[in-house]
Chain A
Amino acid sequence: MSELQRLQLRGTAALAGREVRRVFALWTQTILPPFVTALLFLAVFGGALGSRIREIGGLDYAGFIVPGLLVMTVVGQSFGNSSTSLFQAKNEGYIEDVLTSPLAPWQLALGYLAGGFIRGLVAAAAVAAVAVPIAWEGGGNVGLAVLALVICALVFAALGVITGVWSESFDQHSFVASIVIAPLALLGGVFYSADALDEPWATLTRIDPLYYLVDATRGGLTGFHESPIWLSLLVAAGIAVTAFAAATALIRSGWRLKP
Chain B
Amino acid sequence: MNNLFEIRDLSVLFQIKNGFLKRPQSLRAVHNVSFDIKRKSVVGLVGESGSGKTTTGKAILRLIEPTKGRLLLNGKDIMHKDYDIKKLRKENQIIFQDPLSSLNPQKTILQSLETPMIIHGVGSDGQQRREVIQETLESVGLRGEILNRYPHEFSGGQLQRICIARTLVLKPSFIVCDEAIASLDVSIQSQIINLFKKLQDGYNLTYLFISHNIAVLKYLCDEIGVMYLGEIVEFAPTERLFANAQHPYTKALLSVIPEPNPAGERAKETGQELKGEIPSPINPPPGCAFSTRCPYVFDRCKVEAPQTTTYDQQHRVACHLIAQD
A binds B: no
Residues of A within 8 A of B (CB): none
